[in-house]
C-alpha cells in the first residue's frame, strides 16, 4: 500500500516521460464532458492531471470527474513536462476514487472561507481546524515547525547536552501563581507545569548540560497574538555557567534555527512571503545586549508611559522592538519584576542576573532565562520574600543544600519563534491545534 511516487518529485522532473502512480487528494477540479482537469495534492505539492473520456473510458471518467474536493484518489498516467504554470502534467490512463466525499457535506474550507476572514483565522476556521491543516499555508507552517524542532535538538545534541524529561503534574508555581492551571489530584490540588526548570535544576548536578522540548501550561486569560495556554517550550540548564554564557547559547540556538530554515525551507518561507534576507540577517548577526534600564529610557524617549520595576508586557516590547534590526537581549531586570529563582546581582541586588531575548519587527520576547540563585541562604530569603509555599520547594532548596554550584538556563517559546521566523501575524498560525482561554476543541 505504500507510495512509490511523490508529486514533489514529479514536479522536480525526476520522472519525466515515465509512467507513475500517484496517490493523493483532489485539490481543484474543472472540465467538460470530454476532458477533466484535476489538480491532485499530496504532502509534497500539487500537479495537474488531465483525464480524457476517450482514454480512460466512461466508467473511470464519471467516477473521477464526480470526485469532490478532498476526495482521495489513485491516478496512473504518464508525466508530461509542460511550460504551463504547474510545470508538469499527468496524462491519466486510469484511476480510482479511494475515499469519496459525501455530497451532502462538501469540504468546508474553501478559498472564500479563507479570504473572507482576517488572515483566514476566523472562528469558523478554528472550528474546522482538523480540516484546515490540509491547506497549503498550514501544511507549509507544519513543515517549518518540524525543521525548527529538529534544529533545536541538533543544536543541543551537537554540544553534548542530554535530553531530560520533567513531570507535568507539579505542586508549585515556577512563573508566579496567577497563570497556574489547577487540576484535581486524588483529593489534593496539583498544577500543570509552567516550565521544566525547577526539575531540570535538580538534575543539573547529575548531567551538568541538559535540555528538553515539552509542552508548558499557562492559564492566560487574555487572548493575544503571542499567548497560548499550552505552548511548546525548549529549555536548557547548564552548570557552572554565568548569565552571559547562557545568553551565548540562546543566541546560538536562535541563529542555528534561522540557518536551518534557510538551508532546508527557503521555498516554504518564500511561499509565505517571508523576506529571506531578514531570516539570513537573524542567522548571521550578533545579538546586542542592553540593560533593562536602557530599555526603559528608550521607551520613555518614545513617549511611552512606563515605570521602572514593571516587567515589560507585549505592548511595550512591541514598541521597543519595532525599530530593532536583529534580536536584542535585555538584561538586569529589577528583582521585583522577576520570579524568586533569579539570582540577585552581587554588584547591585536591586537587579537580577537575567535576560529576555526580544525578537525584532515588533514580535518581542522569545526567550526568558538567567542565572539561578544557588546558595541555600539566598534561596530561602527569596522564597520568603515571594511568600511562596515552602513545601513545594523543599526539593529545590535541597539542590542548594547538597553541593550547590552556580548555574543558569533559559526557556524558548518554540511557537513564538516559529511565528516570528515565518513572519506570521498570530501565534495560532504556527501550531496545529491552538489552545487559548476559549477553546479546547477540536
Ligand atoms: O519567560 P518565561 O516565563 O520563563 C520561564 O518559564 C523560565 N522558567 C524558563 C527557564 O529559564 N527555563 O517563559 C519562557 C519563554 C518565553 O520567553 C516565551 O517565549 C515562552 O516561553 N512563553 C510562551 N509562549 C506562548 N504562550 C505563552 N503563554 C507563553 N509563556 C511563555
Ligand atoms: Mg518571560
| 328: confidence class by pLDDT, cuts 50, 70, 90 | very high
pLDDT at residue 327 tops 90: yes
Q: What is the pLDDT of residue 119?
A: 58
CB-ligand 1 contact for 411 (6 Å cutoff): yes
Together in a domain, 92 and 136: no
- Give the Å distance between the CA of 218 and the centre of ligand 1: 9
365 CB-near residues (< 8 Å, 6+ apart): 226, 312, 317, 356, 357, 358, 359, 413, 416
Which of 357, 413, 428, 435 gets mutated to test ligand 1 (max ligand atoms within 8 A of its CB)? 413
The full 3-state SS of 139-156, as one line of letters, equals: HHHHHHHHHHHHHHHHHH
Which of 196, 218, 230, 233 gets mutated to test ligand 1 (max ligand atoms within 8 A of its CB)? 233
CB-ligand 1 contact for 434 (6 Å cutoff): no
Atom of ligand 1 nearest to the CA of 227: 26
211 backbone dihedrals φ, ψ, rounded to 5°:
-150, 165
Atom of ligand 1 nearest to the CA of 236: 12
| d(C-alpha 245, C-alpha 331), whole Å | 13
Q: What is the pLDDT of residue 121?
A: 67
In a domain, 442, yes or no: no
Q: In this structure, which residue's CA is closest to atom 6 in ligand 1?
A: 195
In a domain, 224, yes or no: yes
Q: In this structure, which residue's CA is closest to atom 31 in ligand 1?
A: 413
Together in a domain, 161 and 72: no
pLDDT at residue 244 tops 90: yes
Q: What is the pLDDT of residue 247?
A: 98
**Do 24 and 99 meet the contact criterion of CB atoms below 8 Å apart?**
no
Q: Is residue 65 helix, strand or coil? A: helix
Together in a domain, 260 and 325: yes
Mean pLDDT of the 411-418 span: 98
| 388: confidence class by pLDDT, cuts 50, 70, 90 | confident
| d(C-alpha 118, C-alpha 425), whole Å | 10
Q: In this structure, which residue's CA is closest to atom 20 in ligand 1?
A: 413
Together in a domain, 79 and 31: yes
Q: Is residue 343 helix, strand or coil? A: coil
- Give the Å distance between the CA of 331 and the centre of ligand 2: 12
Q: What is the pLDDT of residue 248?
A: 98
In a domain, 439, yes or no: no
pTM here? 0.96
* CATH code of the domain covering residue 60: 2.40.50.140
pLDDT averaged over every residue in the chain: 95
Q: Is residue 79 helix, strand or coil? A: strand
Together in a domain, 88 and 233: no
Question: How do residues 129-156 score in pLDDT, each as one tens digit?
Answer: 999 999 999 999 999 999 999 999 999 9
In a domain, 357, yes or no: yes
Question: How do residues 354-379 score in pLDDT, each as one tens digit?
Answer: 999 999 999 999 999 999 999 999 99
Together in a domain, 95 and 173: no
Together in a domain, 302 and 155: yes
Domain that holds residue 290: 132-430
- Give the Å distance between the CA of 160 and the centre of ligand 2: 26
**Do 295 and 330 meet the contact criterion of CB atoms below 8 Å apart?**
yes
Q: What is the pLDDT of residue 113?
A: 76
Mean pLDDT of the 61-87 span: 91
Kindly state the cell numbers that stand for 375: 546558595
Kindly state the cell numbers that stand for 297: 529610557
- Give the Å distance between the CA of 413 and the centre of ligand 1: 6
CB-ligand 1 contact for 250 (6 Å cutoff): no
pLDDT at residue 197 tops 90: yes
In a domain, 111, yes or no: no
| d(C-alpha 407, C-alpha 318), whole Å | 31
325 CB-near residues (< 8 Å, 6+ apart): 281, 285, 360
| 110: confidence class by pLDDT, cuts 50, 70, 90 | confident
DSSP characters for 386-418?
TT--HHHHHHHHHHHHTT---EEEEEEEHHHHH
In a domain, 69, yes or no: yes
Which of 231, 341, 408, 418 gets mutated to test ligand 1 (max ligand atoms within 8 A of its CB)? 231
Q: What is the pLDDT of residue 83?
A: 67
CB-ligand 1 contact for 67 (6 Å cutoff): no
Together in a domain, 181 and 271: yes
Q: Could you tell me what percent of the chain has a pLDDT over 70?
A: 98
| 338: confidence class by pLDDT, cuts 50, 70, 90 | very high
Kindly state the cell numbers that stand for 114: 479563507
Local structure of residue 301 (DSSP, 8 states): H
CB-ligand 1 contact for 393 (6 Å cutoff): no
The angle, 0 to 180 degrees and rounded to 10, between the axes of the packed helices 276-284 and 243-271 is 160
| Torsion of the alpha carbons at 174, 179, 181 and 187, rounded to the nearest 10 | 70
In a domain, 110, yes or no: no
Together in a domain, 72 and 203: no
Q: In this structure, which residue's CA is closest to atom 11 in ligand 1?
A: 410
pLDDT at residue 23 tops 90: yes
- Give the Å distance between the CA of 369 and the centre of ligand 2: 8
Q: What is the pLDDT of residue 14?
A: 93
Q: Is the peptide bond between 179 and the residue preceding it cis, with omega within 30 degrees of 0?
A: no
Query: What does each C-alpha distance from 347 to 242, 332, 351 come to in angstroms?
Result: 14, 11, 9
Together in a domain, 10 and 157: no
pLDDT at residue 77 tops 60: yes
pLDDT at residue 122 tops 90: no
CB-ligand 1 contact for 147 (6 Å cutoff): no
Question: How do residues 93-104 score in pLDDT, each as one tens digit?
Answer: 999 999 999 999
Strands (E), 100-174: 162-163, 169-170
86 backbone dihedrals φ, ψ, rounded to 5°:
-85, -10
pLDDT at residue 120 tops 90: no
Q: What is the pLDDT of residue 176?
A: 87
344 CB-near residues (< 8 Å, 6+ apart): 335, 351, 352, 353, 373, 378, 382
Together in a domain, 33 and 173: no
CB-ligand 1 contact for 338 (6 Å cutoff): no
CA 176: distance to chain centroid? 23
Minimal CA–CA distance to 49: which of 36, 68, 59?
36
pLDDT at residue 168 tops 70: yes
| Number of other residues whose CB lies within 10 A of the CB of residue 206 | 10
- Give the Å distance between the CA of 193 and the centre of ligand 1: 11
Mean pLDDT of the 232-241 span: 98
Buried/exposed 408-419: b ≥16 CB within 10 Å, e otherwise: bbbbbbbbbbbb
Atom of ligand 1 nearest to the CA of 427: 25
Domain termination residue (choose one: 54, 84, 99) = 99
Together in a domain, 76 and 169: no
Local structure of residue 219 (DSSP, 8 states): -
* CATH code of the domain covering residue 383: 3.30.930.10
In a domain, 299, yes or no: yes
What is the bridge-based pairing of β-strands 162-163 and 88-99? Answer: unpaired
Amino acid at each position: 500500500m505504500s507510495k512509490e511516487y511523490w508529486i514533489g518529485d514529479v514536479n522536480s522532473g525526476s520522472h519525466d516521460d515515465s509512467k507513475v502512480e500517484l496517490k493523493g487528494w483532489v485539490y481543484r477540479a474543472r472540465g467538460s464532458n470530454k476532458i477533466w482537469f484535476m489538480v491532485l495534492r499530496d504532502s509534497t505539492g500539487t500537479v495537474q492531471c488531465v483525464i480524457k473520456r476517450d482514454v480512460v473510458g466512461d466508467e473511470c471518467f464519471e467516477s473521477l470527474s464526480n470526485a469532490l474536493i478532498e476526495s482521495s484518489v489513485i491516478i496512473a498516467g504518464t508525466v508530461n513536462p509542460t511550460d504551463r504554470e504547474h510545470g508538469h502534467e499527468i496524462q491519466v490512463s486510469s484511476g480510482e476514487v479511494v475515499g469519496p466525499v459525501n455530497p451532502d457535506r462538501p469540504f468546508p474550507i474553501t478559498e472564500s472561507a479563507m479570504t473572507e476572514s482576517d488572515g483566514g483565522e476566523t472562528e469558523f476556521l478554528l472550528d474546522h481546524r482538523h480540516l484546515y491543516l490540509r491547506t497549503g499555508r498550514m501544511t507549509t507552517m507544519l513543515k517549518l515547525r518540524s525543521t525548527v524542532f529538529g534544529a533545536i535538538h541538533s543544536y543541543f545534541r551537537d554540544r553534548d547536552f542530554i535530553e531530560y524529561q520533567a513531570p507535568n503534574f507539579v505542586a508549585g508555581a515556577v512563573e508566579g501563581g496567577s497563570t497556574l492551571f489547577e487540576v484535581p489530584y486524588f483529593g489534593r490540588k496539583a498544577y500543570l507545569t509552567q516550565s521544566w526548570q525547577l526539575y531540570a535544576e535538580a538534575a543539573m548536578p547529575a548531567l551538568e548540560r541538559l535540555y528538553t522540548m515539552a509542552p508548558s501550561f499557562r492559564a492566560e486569560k487574555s487572548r493575544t497574538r503571542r499567548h497560548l495556554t499550552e505552548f511548546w517550550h525548549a529549555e536548557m540548564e547548564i552548570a557552572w555557567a554565568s548569565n552571559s554564557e547562557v545568553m551565548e547559547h540562546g543566541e546560538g540556538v536562535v541563529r542555528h534555527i534561522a540557518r536551518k530554515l534557510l538551508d532546508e525551507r527557503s521555498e516554504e518561507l518564500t511561499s509565505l512571503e517571508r523576506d529571506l534576507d531578514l531570516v539570513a540577517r537573524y542567522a548571521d548577526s550578533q545579538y546586542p545586549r542592553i540593560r533593562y534600564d536602557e530599555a526603559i529610557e528608550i521607551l520613555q524617549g518614545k513617549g511611552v508611559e512606563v515605570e521602572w520595576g514593571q516587567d515589560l508586557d507585549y505592548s511595550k516590547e512591541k514598541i521597543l522592538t519595532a525599530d530593532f534590526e536583529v534580536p536584542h537581549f535585555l538584561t538586569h531586570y529589577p528583582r521585583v519584576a522577576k520570579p524568586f529563582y533569579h539570582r540577585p546581582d552581587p554588584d547591585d541586588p536591586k537587579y537580577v542576573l537575567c535576560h529576555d531575548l526580544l525578537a525584532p519587527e515588533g514580535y518581542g520576547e522569545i526567550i526568558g532565562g538567567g542565572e539561578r540563585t544557588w546558595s541555600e541562604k539566598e534561596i530561602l530569603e527569596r522564597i520568603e520574600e515571594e511568600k511562596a509555599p515552602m513545601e513545594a520547594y523543599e526539593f529545590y532548596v535541597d539542590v542548594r543544600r547538597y553541593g550547590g554550584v552556580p548555574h543558569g538556563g533559559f526557556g524558548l517559546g518554540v511557537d513564538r519563534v516559529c511565528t516570528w521566523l515565518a513572519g506570521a501575524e498570530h501565534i495560532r498560525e504556527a501550531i496545529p491545534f491552538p489552545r487559548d482561554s476559549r477553546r479546547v476543541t477540536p
